[in-house]
């Protein structure tokens, strides 16, 4: 089997070049076409079907946005899978792109390794186009990403990914104790690290957050569990408290029709 060929539709030239450079070094994926707006994207979708296998689509673009492109793909029954990447990530948008058949929604900024993983998962999936996106899990990731950014945790440091993974693990497995024994080893294994390194990286990320984050949000999230004027939360408090907030958030309906 040859390489999976991508059509990337995004007006962010810097990001597109990063994606091209990254996949130029991978054995299974390559960027074969790029379009800088929705109109050009639709032109390529229609006229160059034999030159790409999967579409990477931004939502906010000139002329025609990503939703319009997805609607075009649906209305014209174009049999190509789509991964959406965007920084505009409300529950309504997630619901909309799911209904229109996107396989995944990646929230900007994202790791290129994560994009590679989603491309491989999508291209190897036997599902048919049409609402296969996991709404709850995607909305969960959106919420965590947005919360960590607002709390001032930089996305480029290792602790950010470890915290993000820890929150998901605690939320999905209902872990309230034993973070060190139960969660750290899983994170360390996934990221080819060690438990002490995971613990240190998370602690560093929390310290950075406490110096640059949204203080009102910190008060809202952590005010009932610790005295934030006197102390930063421990690693466990930080992860478990955000996971608890997720449980409250996702006990509500995603949308009402």
pLDDT digits (tens, 9 = 90+) for 12-25: 999 999 999 999 99
Q: Are residues 123 and 147 in the same domain?
A: no
- Asked if residue 257 belongs to a domain, the reply is no
Is residue 227 pLDDT above 70, yes or no?
Answer: no
Number of domains in the chain: 2
The pLDDT assigned to 230 comes to 61
CA distances from residue 108 to 81, 85, 133, 162 in whole angstroms, order as listed: 20, 7, 17, 17
- Asked if residue 216 belongs to a domain, the reply is yes
Q: Are residues 185 and 115 in the same domain?
A: no
Is residue 183 pLDDT above 80, yes or no?
Answer: yes
- Asked if residue 254 belongs to a domain, the reply is no
Q: Are residues 105 and 175 in the same domain?
A: no
Q: Are residues 9 and 124 in the same domain?
A: yes
Q: State which residues form the domain around 239.
A: 141-249
Cβ atoms of 61 and 10 closer than 8 Å = yes
- Asked if residue 63 belongs to a domain, the reply is yes
Distance CA 88, CA 51 (A): 29
User: pTM, whole model, 2 decimals?
Assistant: 0.58
Instruction: Read off the pLDDT of each residue in 67-71 and give the average, rounded to a whole number.
Output: 94
- Asked if residue 86 belongs to a domain, the reply is yes
The pLDDT assigned to 251 comes to 53
| Domain CATH for 147 | 1.10.10.10
Instruction: Read off the pLDDT of each residue in 96-109 and give the average, rounded to a whole number.
Output: 82
Instruction: Read off the pLDDT of each residue in 152-169 and give the average, rounded to a whole number.
Output: 91
- Asked if residue 180 belongs to a domain, the reply is yes
| Domain CATH for 115 | 3.40.50.2300
Cβ atoms of 144 and 167 closer than 8 Å = yes
Picking from 71, 100, 133, the residue at the C-terminal end of a domain is 133
Instruction: Read off the pLDDT of each residue in 113-120 and give the average, rounded to a whole number.
Output: 90
Q: Are residues 120 and 161 in the same domain?
A: no
Residue-wise pLDDT tens digits, 125-143: 765 544 445 555 666 777 7
The pLDDT assigned to 254 comes to 35
Q: Which of 219, 216, 202, 122 is nearest to 165 (CA)?
A: 202
Is residue 257 pLDDT above 90, yes or no?
Answer: no
The pLDDT assigned to 44 comes to 96
- Asked if residue 21 belongs to a domain, the reply is yes
């Amino acid at each position: 089997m040859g390489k999976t060929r991508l059509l990337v539709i995004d007006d962010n030239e810097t990001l597109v070049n990063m994606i091209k450079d990254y996949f130029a070094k991978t054995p299974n994926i390559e960027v074969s076409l790029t379009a800088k707006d929705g109109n050009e994207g639709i032109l390529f979708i229609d006229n160059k079907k034999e030159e790409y296998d999967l579409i990477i689509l931004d939502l906010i673009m000139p002329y025609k946005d990503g939703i319009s492109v997805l609607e075009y793909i649906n209305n014209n029954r174009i049999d190509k899978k789509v991964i959406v990447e965007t920084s505009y990530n409300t529950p309504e948008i997630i619901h909309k792109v799911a209904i229109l058949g996107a396989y995944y929604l990646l929230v900007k900024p994202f790791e290129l390794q994560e994009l590679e993983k989603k491309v491989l998962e999508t291209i190897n999936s036997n599902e048919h186009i049409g609402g296969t996106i996991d709404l709850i899990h995607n909305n969960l990731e959106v919420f965590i990403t947005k919360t960590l950014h607002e709390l001032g945790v930089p996305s480029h440091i290792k602790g950010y990914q470890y915290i993000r993974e820890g929150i998901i693990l605690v939320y999905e497995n209902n872990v309230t104790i034993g973070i060190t024994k139960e969660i750290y080893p899983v994170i360390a294994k996934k990221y080819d690290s060690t438990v002490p390194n995971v613990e240190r990286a998370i602690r560093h990320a929390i310290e950075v957050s406490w110096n640059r984050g949204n203080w009102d949000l910190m008060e809202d999230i952590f005010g009932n569990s610790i005295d934030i004027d006197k102390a930063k939360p421990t690693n466990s408090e930080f992860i478990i408290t955000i996971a608890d907030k997720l449980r409250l958030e996702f006990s509500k309906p995603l949308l009402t029709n």
